[in-house]
């Protein structure tokens, strides 16, 4: 054969694309009860060479019919995709697990290596998850990229079984030389709740390969959200995160904000109807300012986010060149009780406080109990402990010679609530006396410089807490109280805002809330005016 002919054949082969071999019975509404009802399907499967994808969704499959189809799959080692959603409509729940086991056993016998498994919209419950447990642990799923289990009613028990199966699959596949690299996980509307979500979080952390996670409408609150947040940080290639219609509240929102700041490939965030509230929105805004360079969509709608907090979020995404959609759906305020948690939320908070065993303890800035002060100041030096328990110019001045060192070494700047408390105590003793004024400013500088240099990830939580203390923002956390504001609080804050260590974006947050809450600080009109002026300078530079 001439070299020219060989070249032509080579070029022709290079242009040839071999399509995916697929059999589809999608959406036919077939009632497949027994072997006779699937005779044609079985025959077509057996005759299909190199079958890679089988679509059975939109039909209803009985136990006997499943066994017949399963037998035909035992020789299909090339099968990669199983689209089997909405496959058991009208079937008894007891029929579904044996049907799934038959199909799973056939795949294991065939030696197939799946990349996609879709069993969504099959109300099989926890027992159904047990029906696919063996399959998920087997070598068939070592290569799985997409697992779709939306609207299956798994519940907490099913979530735990699923998490265990994925963990085992990763362990066994790693031992075999190529670890499971699941990319897409979909499990919305499954009533996973906290325990199910927490179990899956452990599996997610181990996987580290996720690119899409969809878990809307699962009854997950802050405990489960916090567990998921910690796990998702270990999945650096995550691009889509949909947790719509779960309940973040303040703690869950702050944890998730900390997580997403590490996810530089995240494109779509759906936290709509998640009750992130204003404090959570501010924390998320901090993450937006620091990272997420390729973000395309952000949904925080129906989350009880007030207008100033929404503006903070809007400003945080201004520099995102790829942003296509921003949905905030802010709370329009007609009454003075803007942002106030409803009775149900208050009851939940009460339960959480009781569980933590400190519901009766209050912040000593707000006129609190001596036993708290003794407990919290026991690790401080005598001078600092004396000041924190009884803030005054007299107890502050003995610290002047060493207060910078004492504050930097003894105040826990990893706790934004504690930082806010110490800030307010130092600033509360402000006087125009030069010696006292200098002592206050030096203490504030030492505290804030240390905090912003070591705990930037918590800095938005500090700003939120401080605004709650000052009455500029209402919090769902009943432990964070509004204080009686004195001019010194605002003048010390004005001093801090003017310093280089104070981030300009944090000044913008304060400015947004100050401009919409003039009446709150009316008793400190002069100090409030000075603070507003400095904030304006910092935010217009």
Domains defined along the chain, listed by start: 368-540 (1.25.40.200)
- Which stretches in the chain have pLDDT values below 70? 1-18, 331-379, 455-457, 541
pLDDT at 386 (0 to 100) = 87
Residue 496 CA to residue 530 CA, distance in Å, equals 12
Ranges of H-type helices in 74-154: 96-110, 125-137
Residue 470 CA to residue 503 CA, distance in Å, equals 19
Residue 510 CA to residue 506 CA, distance in Å, equals 6
Helix (H) or strand (E) holding 378: none
Beta-strand pair 268-270/240-242 = parallel
pTM equals 0.85
What one-character DSSP code corresponds to residue 122? -
pLDDT at 373 (0 to 100) = 46
HSE-up of residue 291 (Cα within 13 Å, Cβ side): 18
pLDDT at 359 (0 to 100) = 37
Residue 223 CA to residue 346 CA, distance in Å, equals 17
pLDDT at 423 (0 to 100) = 96
User: Residues 476, 249: contact at Cβ < 8 Å?
Assistant: yes
* Burial grade of 460 (CB within 10 A; 0-12, 13-18, 19 or more): buried
Residue 384 CA to residue 444 CA, distance in Å, equals 14
pLDDT at 21 (0 to 100) = 94
pLDDT at 332 (0 to 100) = 53
Q: Sheet containing 146-148: give its strands across.
A: 22-24, 53-55, 81-83, 116-118, 146-148, 184-186, 212-214, 240-242, 268-270, 297-299, 325-327
User: Residues 382, 392: contact at Cβ < 8 Å?
Assistant: no
Residue 312 CA to residue 335 CA, distance in Å, equals 21
Q: Which pair of tokens denotes residue 244?
A: 């719509």
Q: Partners of 212 in the beta sheet? A: 184, 240
b/e per residue 325-343 (b: at least 16 CB within 10 A): ebebebbeeeeeebbebee
pLDDT at 24 (0 to 100) = 97
């Amino acid at each position: 054969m001439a070299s020219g002919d060989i070249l032509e054949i080579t070029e022709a082969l290079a242009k040839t694309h071999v399509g995916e071999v697929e059999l589809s019975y999608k959406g036919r509404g077939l009632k497949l009860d027994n072997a006779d009802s699937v005779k044609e399907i079985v025959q077509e499967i057996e005759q299909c060479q190199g079958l890679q994808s089988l679509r059975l969704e939109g039909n209803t499959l009985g136990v006997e019919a499943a066994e017949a189809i399963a037998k035909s799959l035992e020789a299909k080692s090339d099968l990669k995709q199983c689209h089997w959603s909405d496959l058991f409509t009208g079937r008894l729940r007891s029929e579904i697990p044996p049907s799934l086991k038959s199909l799973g056993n056939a795949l294991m016998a065939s030696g197939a290596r799946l990349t996609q498994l879709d069993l969504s919209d099959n109300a099989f419950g926890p027992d159904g998850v047990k029906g696919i447990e063996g399959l998920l642990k087997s070598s068939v799923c070592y290569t799985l990229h997409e697992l779709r289990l939306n609207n299956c009613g798994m519940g907490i028990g099913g979530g735990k079984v699923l998490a265990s199966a994925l963990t085992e699959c990763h362990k066994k596949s790693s031992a075999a030389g190529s670890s499971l690299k699941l990319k897409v996980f979909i499990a919305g509307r499954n009533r996973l709740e906290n325990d199910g979500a927490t179990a899956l979080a452990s599996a997610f952390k181990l996987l580290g390969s996720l690119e899409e996670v969809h878990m809307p409408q699962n009854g997950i609150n802050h405990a489960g959200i916090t567990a998921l947040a910690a796990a998702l940080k270990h999945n650096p290639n995550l691009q889509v995160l949909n947790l719509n219609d779960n309940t973040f509240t303040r703690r869950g929102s702050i944890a998730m904000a900390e997580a997403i700041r590490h996810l530089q490939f995240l494109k779509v965030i759906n936290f709509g109807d998640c009750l992130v509230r204003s404090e959570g929105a501010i924390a998320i805004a901090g993450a937006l300012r620091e990272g997420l360079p390729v973000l395309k969509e952000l949904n925080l709608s129906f989350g009880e986010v007030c207008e100033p907090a929404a503006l903070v979020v809007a400003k945080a995404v201004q520099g995102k060149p790829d942003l296509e959609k921003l949905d905030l759906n802010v709370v329009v305020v007609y009454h003075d009780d803007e942002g106030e948690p409803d009775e149900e939320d208050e009851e939940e908070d009460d339960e959480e406080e009781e569980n933590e065993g400190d519901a009766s303890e209050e912040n000593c800035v707000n006129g609190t109990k001596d036993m708290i002060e003794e407990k919290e100041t026991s690790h401080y030096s005598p001078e600092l402990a004396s000041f924190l328990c009884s803030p005054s110019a007299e107890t502050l001045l003995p610290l002047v010679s060493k207060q910078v060192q004492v504050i930097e070494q003894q105040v826990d700047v990893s706790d934004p609530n504690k930082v806010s408390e110490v800030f307010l105590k130092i600033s509360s003793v402000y006087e125009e006396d030069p010696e006292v004024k200098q002592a206050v400013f030096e203490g504030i500088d030492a505290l804030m410089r240390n905090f912003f240099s070591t705990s930037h990830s918590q800095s938005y939580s500090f700003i939120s807490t401080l605004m709650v203390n000052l009455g500029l923002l209402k919090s769902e956390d009943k432990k964070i109280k509004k204080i009686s504001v004195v001019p010194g609080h605002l003048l010390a804050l004005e001093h801090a805002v003017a310093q280089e260590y104070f981030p300009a974006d944090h000044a913008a947050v304060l400015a947004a809330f100050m401009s919409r809450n003039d009446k709150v600080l009316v008793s400190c009109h002069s100090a409030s005016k000075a603070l507003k002026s400095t904030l304006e300078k910092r935010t217009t530079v």
